Structure 1
Amino acid sequence: MATHTQLRPRAKVSAPADTARPGRRRRLRSALGRFAVFGAPGMLVYACFVLAPVLLSVGYSLTNYNPFSPPTEFTGLRNYRLLFQDEEFLQALKVTVQLTVMLVVLPNVAGLGIAVLLDRKGWFYNAWRAVFFVPVVLSSVVVSVVWTRLLADDGVVNQALGWVGVDPVGWLSDPSLALYSLGVIMAWQMLGFCVVVYLAGLQSVPGELLEAASIDGAGPVTRFRHVTWPLLAPALTVNTVVLLITAFKAYDHIQVITGGGPGSGTTATLSLVILQTGFTANRQGYACAMAVVMLVIVATASTLVLRVLRRREVEL
């Protein structure tokens, strides 16, 4: 009589939850260890040298803090209300905006043109790239001193103009020209940065696209307008944001070349007025309020510009 063996399915044996926990804990400890080694030092430096000064400035801006005239009293928003009635602050804001427009437009336009000319191979073009980048690595004070000598009333530029029969121009002594002269000087120093960024963008343009456009009958201008320029959108974003922030915090050039003059604040920027208010007039609570307002303006402007330009990158 045949016997039939009944086969029963084996029950699945699951590992106890306690055996999986040590592995998770080890991975967690490993991640925390990597963060402590690589992430925590950077965050600590950022907190000490960025967040802490910003928070202290906000706190002092709500007081009448003056280290030479204690006691310090809480004044609330009084400093902020006074700011928008302060003609010196409003004039400095106007000057800063004008300087920012010049510093954003001039190096971008000139840098793009020079980058297109230098987008070729050969030692000659490599040498010119280095020449244009040299001013970027120079100290702002050195650049300011050199240009002060060149644009003085009896400087080299006016002497050269005299040789061709042109009367001397008060590049730095004429209130109607001084700000524009400063804008050109700062734009000249930042020109090399824009050239390098645009060159990197030009060299990343696929040659196949340009070749296809050429086969379709597109000329150099059409190829640049419809192929190259759209692909330079990331380079334009980088240059614009960097130049915007650089212009708003401009101090060295103004202090060395004009000191805020000639005249009454014709070239005084926000940074210059803030430092003069805080360390010359010793009104550090009021100066902190100015600095907080400038921080808000720069952060807002940079965010808006970055959002608009990045949206353009996506659309292209």
Structure 2
Amino acid sequence: MSRTTQVVDRARARSTPPAAKPADPPRRSWWTTRRRDQLAGLLFVSPQLLGSIVFVLLPLGLVVYYSLHEWNVLADTFDFVGAENYRALADDPNLPSVLGATGLFSLGLVVLNLSLALLLAVLLNQKLRGTVVFRTLFFSPVVVSLVAWTIVWGFLLQDNGGINGLLDTIGVDGPNWLRGEATAMLSVVVVQVLKNVGLNMVLFLAALQGVPAELYEAARVEGAGRWTQFRKITVPLISPTILLTSIITVVGSLQVFAQIAVLTQGGPGTSTTVLVYYLYQQAFQFHHFGYGATLSVLLFGIVLVLTVVQWQMRKRWVFHEQ
């Protein structure tokens, strides 16, 4: 190789740029879109979550804690008694009658409320003049104060109240509704049904308006009557709403207190002493706070069991779960 060739090769080598190094892979940022969306979701649910912890889970835990103690506010004592309150609950002679009154009230309220609400919804779903007025009329008691509603009905159901005054005009001697063992529970149930039937009526009415009209037309073409259409079309398609209203009504019936306290005070005897009112008596009248907390645990267990049973039964009769 000549000297000239070597000089040319060196010149080319100096003029050729060095090979570029492979670029490093980009570093992934920790603050990704997924983490940002997760944080936004947590911020949105945090008020409800915090409220559930402070006002549901924490009080529930405290109730269980108090049920293991005997708390005497007057003597300023707070003693651990273990399962003593639960043994007293099993031996309480008043508990069977209290549970019986609670079951009777719940059964009467659920049956009458759901049946009447569904009947009113079916009637008011018709395209007739004046249905808006009747919808407002039946729903208006829902927005009335519960205590005010109960006080008014307390005056009406007295021995010389408005109900017996109306019966007297047709020659009927009405009973003392709130003081008779056969009529006190019925009176409380009817007052509560009239108070809340409008809410379930509106829910049923919304469900009925979501049923396609073509199904009814096809059924009429096939010769199906109104009762058959109701059983085979209406009830299956609104069964999710029936499930919702039944759970709400059952839970609400087990938590009744103001109506009993205002109308009957648990009497006559213990015929209208439901579980919540009995809990109130033990805790705030007799100052047995530990035993009252035990009754609260029992109430929570009953509500939980009934809700789970209804939720599991949905697979058998709720249309969209089949």
Query: In structure 2, what is the equivalent of residue 148 of structure 1?
Result: 154
The residue identity in structure 2 corresponding to 1:301 is: L
Cα distance in 1 for partners of 2:23, 2:250 equals: 61
State percent identity of aligned pairs.
33
Secondary structure at 2:219 match in 1: helix
Query: In structure 2, what is the equivalent of residue 71 of structure 1?
Result: 77
Query: In structure 2, what is the equivalent of residue 5 of structure 1?
Result: none
Matches within 5 A, 1:270-285: 270-285=275-290
Q: Which has the larger radius of gyration?
A: 2
| Pair 1:15–1:108, CA change in 2 (3 A) | farther
The residue identity in structure 2 corresponding to 1:196 is: V
| Alpha carbons 1:234, 1:310 under 8 Å: kept | no
Query: In structure 2, what is the equivalent of residue 8 of structure 1?
Result: none
Query: In structure 2, what is the equivalent of residue 102 of structure 1?
Result: 108
**Moved >6 Å (runs of 4+):** none
Query: In structure 2, what is the equivalent of residue 129 of structure 1?
Result: 135
Structure 1 residue 309: Cα displacement: 2.9
Gaps (5+ residues) in structure 1?
A: 1-12
Matched, 1:45 2:51: yes
Moved more, 29-38 or 91-100: 29-38
Instruction: Say which of 78, 86, 89 aligns to 2:92.
Output: 86
Secondary structure at 1:44 match in 2: helix
Query: In structure 2, what is the equivalent of residue 57 of structure 1?
Result: 63
Cα deviations by residue, 1:245-265 (Å, 9 ceiling, x for unpaired): 111000000000111112x21
| Pair 1:123–1:14, CA change in 2 (3 A) | farther
Cα distance in 1 for partners of 2:88, 2:201 equals: 42
| Alpha carbons 2:211, 2:237 under 8 Å: kept | yes
Cα distance in 1 for partners of 2:103, 2:218 equals: 43
Cα deviations by residue, 1:252-298 (Å, 9 ceiling, x for unpaired): 00000111112x21111111111121111111111001001100111
Structure 1 residue 35: Cα displacement: 3.5
Cα distance in 2 for partners of 1:92, 1:154 equals: 29
Secondary structure at 1:64 match in 2: strand
**TM-score if structure 2 supplies the norm length?**
0.88
The residue identity in structure 1 corresponding to 2:266 is: G
The residue identity in structure 1 corresponding to 2:248 is: V
Matched, 1:298 2:280: no
CA RMSD between the two structures = 1.9
The residue identity in structure 1 corresponding to 2:233 is: V
| Pair 1:36–1:240, CA change in 2 (3 A) | closer
Cα distance in 2 for partners of 1:256, 1:216 equals: 54
Matched, 1:286 2:291: yes
Structure 1 residue 73: Cα displacement: 1.7
**TM-score if structure 1 supplies the norm length?**
0.90
| Alpha carbons 1:102, 1:187 under 8 Å: kept | no
| Alpha carbons 2:314, 2:321 under 8 Å: kept | no
The residue identity in structure 2 corresponding to 1:190 is: N
Instruction: Say which of 262, 287, 290 aligns to 1:256.
Output: 262
Cα distance in 2 for partners of 1:41, 1:202 equals: 34
Structure 1 residue 162: Cα displacement: 1.5
Structure 1 residue 299: Cα displacement: 0.9
Structure 1 residue 310: Cα displacement: 4.6
Query: In structure 2, what is the equivalent of residue 187 of structure 1?
Result: 193
Question: Number of aligned pairs?
Answer: 300
Gaps (5+ residues) in structure 2?
A: 1-21
Cα distance in 2 for partners of 1:274, 1:14 equals: 74
Query: In structure 2, what is the equivalent of residue 177 of structure 1?
Result: 183
Instruction: Say which of 212, 215, 220 aligns to 1:209.
Output: 215
